[in-house]
Amino acid sequence: MYAFLAWLQTHAEGLPEHRIANIFEPRSTPGDMERHIANLTLGITGIIFVVVGGLIVYTIWRFRRKPGDDSRQEPPQVYGSNQIEIAWTVIPILIVFILIGVSARVIAAIQNASPPHSTLKIRLIGHQWWWEVEYPDFKVKTANEIHVPVNADGHTATYLQLESLDVIHSFWVPQIAGKTDLIPNRVNYMWIDPKEAGIFFGNCAEYCGTQHANMLLRLVVQPQNEFNAWVAQQAQPAEANPVDPGVAQGKNMFESLACVNCHRVQGTTATGVFGPDLTHLMSRQTIGAGVLPMNHQNLRDWVNDPQNAKPGCFMPSMKLTDAELDQVVSYLESLR
Amino acid sequence: MASIDYPLERPDIEDTGWHFAENLYRWIATVDHKKLGLMYIVSALIFLCVAGVMAVVIRLQLAFPNGHVVDPDTYDRLFTMHGTTMVFLVGMPIVAGLSNYLVPLMIGARDMAFPRLNSFGFWIFLFGGLLLYYSYIGGSGLSGAGSAPDVGWFAYAPLTTKSFSRGHSVDYWALGVLVSGFGSIASAINVIATTISLRCPGMTLSKMPMFVWVMLVDAWLILIALPPLSAGQIMLLLDRYLGANFFNTQHGGSAVLWQHIFWIFGHPEVYILIFPAFAILSELVPIFSRKPLFGRPAMVGAVVAIGFISLGVWAHHMFAVGMTSWSNTFFAASSMLVGIPTGIKIFNWTATMYGGRIRLLTPMLFCCAFLLQFLVAGLTGIMLAVAPFDWQLHDSYFVVAHFHFTLAGGLVTALFGGFYYWYPKVAGRMYNETLAKWHFWLFIIGFNLTFIPLHFAGTLGMPRRIYTYAPGRGWEIWNQLASLGALMQAAAVTLFAWNVIYSAIKGEPAGDDPWDAWTLEWGTTSPPPEYNFEKLPVVRSSRPLWDLKHPNDPDWKYE
| DSSP one-letter string for B332-348 | HHHHHHHHHHHHHHHHH
Three-class HEC string of B203-259:
CCHHHCCHHHHHHHHHHHHHHHHHHHHHHHHHHHHHHHHHCCCCCCHHHCCCHHHHH
Side-chain half-sphere CA neighbours of B206 within 13 A: 9
Choose among B255, B339, B355: nearest Cβ to A185: B255
- Residues 227-246 of chain A whose Cβ lies under 8 A from any Cβ of chain B: none
Phi-psi group of B181: left, alpha or beta (phi > 0 → left; psi -120 to 50 → alpha; rest → beta): alpha
Interface predicted TM-score (ipTM) over 0.90? yes
Side-chain half-sphere CA neighbours of A117 within 13 A: 1
A179 close contact with B: CB closer than 8 A: yes
Contact B391 A78 (CB under 8 A): no
pLDDT at position B483: 96
Higher pLDDT, B207 or B558: B207
Choose among A69, A79, A184: nearest Cβ to B158: A184
Q: Which residue of B has its CA nearest to A190?
A: B322
Choose among B250, B322, B351: nearest Cβ to A180: B322
Choose among B158, B328, B472: nearest Cβ to A19: B472
Confidence of residue B11 (pLDDT cuts 50, 70, 90): low
Choose among A85, A184, A189: nearest Cβ to B298: A85
pLDDT at position A1: 42
A204 contacts on B by Cβ (under 8 Å): 463
- Residues 142-161 of chain A whose Cβ lies under 8 A from any Cβ of chain B: none
**Does the pLDDT at position B147 exceed 50?**
yes
A288 close contact with B: CB closer than 8 A: no
pLDDT at position A5: 46
Gap between the terminal Cα atoms of chain A: 25
**Does the pLDDT at position B243 exceed 80?**
yes
Q: Mark the ranges of chain A whose per-residue pLDDT is less than 50.
A: 1-12
**Does the pLDDT at position B3 exceed 50?**
no
Digit-coded pLDDT (tens) for B277-329: 999 999 999 999 999 999 999 999 999 999 999 999 999 999 999 999 999 99
Q: Which residue of B has its CA nearest to A75?
A: B356
pLDDT at position B156: 95
A57 close contact with B: CB closer than 8 A: yes
Choose among A77, A179, A212: nearest Cβ to B292: A77
pLDDT at position B17: 60
- Alpha helices, H only, B63-168: 72-84, 92-106, 115-134
pLDDT at position B18: 65
Digit-coded pLDDT (tens) for B164-220: 988 888 999 999 999 999 999 999 999 999 999 999 999 999 999 999 999 999 999
Helix axis angle, B325-353 to B255-289, nearest 10°: 10
pLDDT at position B15: 56
Digit-coded pLDDT (tens) for B444-481: 999 999 999 999 999 999 999 999 999 999 999 999 99
Q: What are the backbone angles phi and psi of residue A141, rounded to the nearest 5°? A: -130, 135
A212 close contact with B: CB closer than 8 A: yes
Contact B461 A21 (CB under 8 A): yes
Instruction: Look at residues A50, A46, A95, A84 and name the one whose alpha carbon lies nearest to residue B339.
Output: A95
pLDDT at position B14: 54
Choose among B72, B325, B353: nearest Cβ to A60: B353
Instruction: Return the H-helix or E-strand segment holding A163.
Output: strand A156-164
pLDDT at position B4: 39
Instruction: Look at residues A102, A105, A130, A93 and name the one whose alpha carbon lies nearest to residue A217.
Output: A130
Q: Which residue of B has its CA nearest to A183?
A: B255
Contact B463 A203 (CB under 8 A): yes
Q: Which residue of A has its CA nearest to B160?
A: A167
pLDDT at position A121: 94
Contact B322 A185 (CB under 8 A): no
Instruction: Look at residues A179, A148, A212, A171 and name the one whose alpha carbon lies nearest to residue B393.
Output: A179
Contact B320 A99 (CB under 8 A): no
Choose among B292, B372, B550: nearest Cβ to A79: B292
Choose among A64, A110, A167: nearest Cβ to B388: A110
User: Mean pLDDT in chain B?
Assistant: 93
pLDDT at position A242: 83
Contact B357 A74 (CB under 8 A): yes
Contact A41 B340 (CB under 8 A): no
Q: Is A103 in contact with B386 (CB distance < 8 Å)?
A: yes
To test the contact with chain B by mutation, choose from A37, A56, A98, A201 the residue with the greatest count of B C-beta atoms within 10 A, namely A56
Gap between the terminal Cα atoms of chain B: 44
- Alpha helices, H only, chain A: 2-13, 29-62, 82-111, 224-235, 245-256, 259-262, 296-304, 306-309, 322-332
pLDDT at position B529: 93
Pairing of strands A198-204, A17-18: parallel
- Alpha helices, H only, B243-359: 255-289, 296-310, 325-353
d(CA A264, CA B547): 83
pLDDT at position A12: 47
Say which range, B34-38, B314-318, B488-492, B541-545, has the weakest mean pLDDT: B541-545
A99 contacts on B by Cβ (under 8 Å): 336, 382, 385-386
A100 close contact with B: CB closer than 8 A: yes
Q: How far is A149 from chain B (nearest CA, A)?
A: 23
Contact B320 A180 (CB under 8 A): yes
A85 contacts on B by Cβ (under 8 Å): 295, 298, 344, 348
- Whether domain B29-557 has CATH 1.20.210.10: yes
pLDDT at position B139: 60
pLDDT at position A329: 95
Digit-coded pLDDT (tens) for B407-436: 999 999 999 999 999 999 999 999 999 999
d(CA A22, CA B435): 42
pLDDT at position B135: 87
**Does the pLDDT at position B144 exceed 50?**
no
pLDDT at position A239: 83
Pairing of strands A169-173, A156-164: unpaired
Instruction: Look at residues A291, A221, A287 and name the one whose alpha carbon lies nearest to residue A14.
Output: A221
Digit-coded pLDDT (tens) for B54-109: 999 999 999 999 999 999 999 999 999 999 999 999 999 999 999 999 999 999 99
B385 contacts on A by Cβ (under 8 Å): 99, 103
A56 contacts on B by Cβ (under 8 Å): 346, 350, 368, 371-372, 375
d(CA B11, CA B525): 10
Sign of CA dihedral B388, B394, B398, B404: positive
Q: How far is B27 from chain A (nearest CA, A)?
A: 40
Contact A92 B339 (CB under 8 A): yes
Contact B375 A111 (CB under 8 A): no
**Domains recognised in chain A with CATH numbers:** 17-64+114-234 (2.60.40.420), 245-332 (2.60.40.420)
**Does the pLDDT at position B143 exceed 70?**
no
A106 close contact with B: CB closer than 8 A: yes
Q: How far is B463 from chain A (nearest CA, A)?
A: 5
pLDDT at position A10: 45
Sketch the domain layout of chain B as residue ranges: 29-557
**Does the pLDDT at position B264 exceed 50?**
yes
pLDDT at position B12: 54
